[in-house]
Amino acid sequence: MKYFFVHRTVRAPIVLFVIVICVLLASLGSAQAAKNTMVEVGFVGAPPPGFQNVLLNVQQVRINPNSSAAPDNAKWQVIPVPPGIGNAQQNAELQIDLNTSQNLPQLFNTALVQPYTYQIAEIDLDPNNPGTLVPNCPLAPPLGDTADGCINYPLQLSVGTTVITTPISGVAPKKGALAVLVLQVSVKINQAPTVPGGPYIATVTLAPLPNSVLGTVTGSVKVTSGSGSGTSTSKILPLSVTAEAIGTNTPIATAPLTNNNFTLILPAAGGPTAPGFGTLYDLAVSGGADTYAAERLQPLYPGQSITVGPIAVTGNQTLGNITGMITDGCVATKPITGATLQLLMPPTSNSTADCLTSPEQCVTVATANTDNAGNFPLPGTVTTPAEFDQVPILPKKGSYVMEITAPGYDPLMVLAIPSSNTSNKGSTCSTNGGTTFGACDLTLNTGYIAGTIPITPPNPGQTILVQVFAEDAGTNNIESALPMPISVTSSNSTVDFTLNVPPSIPMFDLFATTIDLYQGVSDPFQGHTIAVKSGVTGPAEPSMPGVCNTVTPTFDQTIDCIGHGSVIGTVANATLGTSVVLSKEDLASGDFVQITNSQVQNQSPNPNASNNYSFCVPADTYWLQRVQLPMPSESVTPSVAPTPEPEGTPSITVTIPPAPLLNGPTPTRSAAPTGAPTPTATATQKVTCPTTCSNPDGSCPGICNTVIKTIP
């Protein structure tokens, strides 16, 4: 009886277990067995004019071979949001900005699908929150309660569904191949908000674009048998080729190898004249228990193809790991969270490059980050181990060049020898060029800028969050920001800050911005003036370990409540390398401090090309400078990534008049607006204070102004 009870008790769960497992296996098998092709999806934006941002919240893209497929049709294939956002099981979505993808497609994701000939595609927007629109400040009357700019407005679709579909053709991936689907996403405004904070009602449409807006990189990898002992690790990263933006570790797309061949389809900058502007990429070959390899490519043009290789790697490598800890060189045992570690390799085109002294000439083949305790690498997934846990061990105790960077610290270049995954000894690093090796517990040098910024305090019960940035003097290359913004209350008239900066930089420009709310909701742009300080001499290098230096600049400019403003315009003869930099003058020195930049959007050959730029910035006086990224030379492989340079007319001044005040006196500033037409905002709004900020007398900025400025 006891056995009977035990048997009956056990049998039911076993049956359940077996059934569940069988069903799972069956569904897994049927789903995965046929998903042997890939589709890469990209978006090109076609936003309405007059907006700083046109943001859509995309949950997924689906494609189907049946043009009239019902929503629950079994043949729908899903391209989910990218892994860093979520996956099929996550309630997460990717926010795309149609304004920034007008010239170059923004890759969405690549996914395995079944090998059908697809007839229809759809994007699924978040039904609860399909998107957000941020208009520029209004140009001219009539102005009303709902006309304010540089703030978030919800998007409401004119149709009752957030699933947008389009017929497609030519998407018919064969087994093991990659197909591309580029979708143009258009937004047309049907109705502006009718109540404060109300939605824009708009129509979103979808249309397929030809693949000629992309370029193709094909090639092969030649794997020769190595003499290593191999590896017993069960999960090995597959051998793959990753395209990275030149000189960075930013992956754009990754392609697995099929019969040792690969195909990457990548955004390529075009233009009005053939072959186009061209986009530069690096290739990193890694995985598969093979040695690393790297390539730096010549410019890639739309509709064109680059053939690479064969790229030589050696297989059967013993895999090891590089682990350790990154700490602050000034504060003992203080971990550095979020440091980035990169293994560098010289590209085939420049195989003699010394990555230790010229890292800009090399390609990143593996990346890791530190965790909250300063330890690296972060764990990978069960199926995708961390890159630093599968580093091929070089023969004869060979070493890799490893670069460690963290905001506010000097970069550190070391030689690193991975440790065998079966060894008790850890990886070792050398900070003296290979003379001696020790544990990869490394420290980064830093120094401090401790300053004070005057601020008009907020009213009781409110706070202002202030963030301070340090950048290389005369550039917009930001080196550091405060680890947390400073909260300013009504009892504070100054902001005291201490900022980590790399001591190897001789001089910095500083600027301080605020993070505000607009009528209680998140404000995408600040309403307080930006305080700048130019030419701050950086702290000296530590005189000895742990003895670090501080400089103490004083800001002359005050952070005031002023309200939003915007600058818009066009740029003559722009190319895809053209941008506009906005700076503010440090009146004490007469130097400009660069604040932000705007890519020139909607260029030829787009229909109705406008070559426009726009900024949402607090009402104030600024300077605009055209900046040009050099056009890559056709068929020439660069040794380093090009850098943008100022071009054309020296800086042009522009003054955005402050918004009229609500519930208070009219603005006291007398600065005349520049450009045309002249904004004539009227203070008749019913919106209550505070808007983006408020003044000590309870008044607050009303509807903001826009200035038009053409850049020659």
Partner 1 sequence: MARRATRYLLRTLSWSALGATLAVSVAACNNQTGFSGSVGNTPNGPPLASYEILGTVGTPFTAIVSDTRSSWAFQGNVPLSVIICNNILPARIVATKTSVNSNLLSLEILSGGHVAELQSTSAPFGTVSVQVGGTLNSIAPPAGSLPNNSPDLRIFVSGPLNLSYSALVEDITTGFVINSRAPTLILFDTPDGKVDATFFGTPSFPTFTVDMTLDGVVVASVMQGPNATIREP
Does 25 contact partner 1 by CB under 8 A? no
Q: Which of 114, 348, 421, 463 binds partner 1 (CB under 8 A)?
A: 463
Alpha-carbon gap, residue 186 to 204, rounded angstroms: 6
Query: Residue 280 CB, nearest distance to partner 1 (Å)?
Result: 14
Using the contact rule CB under 8 A, the part of the chain among 69-77, 180-188, 476-484, 644-652 near partner 1 is: 476-484
What's the closest the beta carbon of residue 463 comes to partner 1, in angstroms? 4
Name which position in 137, 345, 482, 689 contacts partner 1 (CB under 8 A).
482
Which residues are paired to 179 by β-bridges?
Answer: 39
**472 versus 591: smaller Cβ distance to partner 1:** 472
Q: Which stretch binds partner 1 (CB under 8 A): 92-100, 181-189, 554-562, 635-643?
A: 92-100
Q: 33, 72, 88, 91: which one contacts partner 1 (CB under 8 A)?
A: 91
Identity of the residue, 291 or 599, whose beta carbon is nearer to partner 1 in the bound complex: 599
Q: Which residues contact 430 (CB under 8 A, 6 or more apart)?
A: 399, 414, 415, 416, 436, 437, 438
644 binds partner 1 (CB under 8 A): no
Comparison of 79 and 482: residue with beta carbon closer to partner 1: 482
Alpha carbons 133 and 235: distance in angstroms, whole number: 44
| Least spacing, CB of residue 84 vs partner 1, in Å | 4
CB of 697 vs partner 1, minimal distance in Å:
18
State which of positions 229-288 bind partner 1 (CB under 8 A): 245, 248, 250
Site for partner 1 contains 5 (CB under 8 A): no
Q: Which is nearer to partner 1, 311 or 344 (CB)?
A: 344
Tell whether residue 160 is a contact of partner 1 (CB under 8 A).
Answer: no
Does 481 bind partner 1 (CB under 8 A)? Our answer is: yes
The least distance separating partner 1 from the CB of residue 295, rounded to whole angstroms, comes to 20
Question: Smallest gap, in angstroms, from Cβ of residue 556 to partner 1?
Answer: 23
CA 436 to centroid of chain Cα atoms: 38
Nearest alpha carbon to residue 616 among 47, 50, 197, 156: 50
97/56 Cα distance (integer angstroms): 7
> Of 611-640, which residues contact partner 1 (CB under 8 A)?
none
Q: Does 87 bind partner 1 (CB under 8 A)?
A: yes
* DSSP string of 339-387, one letter each residue: -EEEEEE--GGGTT--TTT-GGGSEEEEEEE--TTSEEPPP--SSS--G
Residue from 1, 70, 89, 160 that binds partner 1 (CB under 8 A)?
A: 89
For residue 1, CA distances in Å to 7, 15, 157, 479 come to 10, 21, 67, 76
Which span (197-205, 417-425, 437-445, 456-464) binds partner 1, by CB under 8 A?
456-464
**Closest residue by Cα to residue 154 from 521, 514, 613, 517:** 521
Which of 88, 232, 425, 461 binds partner 1 (CB under 8 A)? It is: 461
CA distance 137 to 141: 11
Using the rule CB under 8 A, give the single segment among 40-48, 72-80, 126-134, 556-564 that binds partner 1.
126-134
Provide, rounded to whole angstroms, the least separation between the CB of residue 242 and partner 1: 13
How do beta strands 428-430 and 441-444 pair?
A: unpaired
6 binds partner 1 (CB under 8 A): yes
251 φ/ψ angles, rounded to the nearest 5 degrees: -75, 135
Number of Cβ atoms within 10 Å of the Cβ of 642? 16
Give the per-residue contact string, 319-338, with partner 1 (x = CB under 8 A; - = no): ------------------xx
By CB under 8 A, what part of segment 577-616 binds partner 1? 596
* CB-nearer residue toward partner 1: 93 or 509: 93
Backbone region of residue 424 per phi and psi (left: phi > 0; alpha: psi in -120 to 50; beta: other values): alpha
Return the residue of 372, 432, 543, 670 that touches partner 1, per CB under 8 A: 372
Around Cβ 178, how many Cβ atoms within 10 Å?
A: 20
Number of residues that bind partner 1 (CB under 8 A): 76
- Mapped to the 3 state alphabet, what secondary structure does 525-587 carry? CCCECCEEEEEEECCCCCCECCECCEECCECCCCECECCCEEEEEEECCCCCCEEEEEEEEEC
Q: What is the 3-state secondary structure (H, E, C) of 577-613?
A: CEEEEEEEEECCCCEEEEEEEEECECCCCCCCCCCEE
Nearer CB in complex with partner 1: 106/445:
106
Q: In sequence order, what DSSP letters do the residues of 432-495 get, joined into one string?
A: STTS--EESEEEE--EEEEEEEEBPPPPTT--EEEEEEEEETTS--EEEE-SSPEEE-TT-SEE
Told to check if 154 binds partner 1 by CB under 8 A, we report: no
d(CA 702, CA 491): 25
CB of 169 to partner 1, least distance (A): 31
Q: Which residue in the set 367, 419, 601, 706 belongs to the binding site for partner 1 (CB under 8 A)?
A: 367
Q: List the interface residues with partner 1, window 374-393 (CB under 8 A).
A: 378-382, 384
- Binding positions for partner 1, 486-525, rule CB under 8 A: 487, 489, 513, 515, 517, 520-524
Sequence-ordered list of residues with C-beta below 8 angstroms from that of 298, at least 6 positions apart, any chain: 306, 632, 634, 635, 636, 637
Residue from 4, 5, 13, 396 touching partner 1 (CB under 8 A): that is 13
Secondary structure of residue 331 in the 3-state scheme: coil
Q: Is 34 helix (H, G, I), strand (E, B) or coil?
A: helix
Give the residue, chosen from 44, 61, 94, 654, that forms a contact with partner 1 under the rule CB under 8 A. Answer: 94
Distance of closest approach, residue 524 Cβ to partner 1, in angstroms: 7
Q: Does 462 bind partner 1 (CB under 8 A)?
A: yes
Closest CB to partner 1 among 118 and 281? 281
By C-alpha distance, which of 629, 628, 561, 620 is closest to 593?
Answer: 620
Residue with tokens 């978040």: 126
| Candidate list 228, 485, 527, 638; residue touching partner 1; CB under 8 A | 485
CB of 344 to partner 1, least distance (A): 16
Does 22 interact with partner 1 (rule: CB under 8 A)? no
Element (H, E) at 2: helix 2-34
Give the whole-angstrom CA distance, residue 242 versus residue 253.
Answer: 6
Among positions 41, 313, 325, 339, the unique one binding partner 1 when judged by CB under 8 A: 339
CA dihedral 633, 634, 636, 641 (to 10 degrees): 50
Q: Is residue 663 within 8 Å of 699, Cβ to Cβ?
A: yes
Stretch that binds partner 1, among 17-25, 68-76, 196-204, 394-402 (CB under 8 A): 17-25
* Region from 195-203, 442-450, 469-477, 585-593 binding partner 1, contact rule CB under 8 A: 469-477
- Helices then strands, counting H and E runs in the chain, come out as 1, 50
CA distance 397 to 417: 7
CA 393 vs. chain centroid, Å, equals 32
474 binds partner 1 per the rule CB under 8 A: no
The tokens describing 609, both together, are 């090309």
Stretch that binds partner 1, among 5-13, 261-269, 502-510, 549-557 (CB under 8 A): 5-13
Taking CB under 8 A as the rule, does residue 37 contact partner 1? no
Minimum gap (Å) between residue 457 Cβ and partner 1: 13
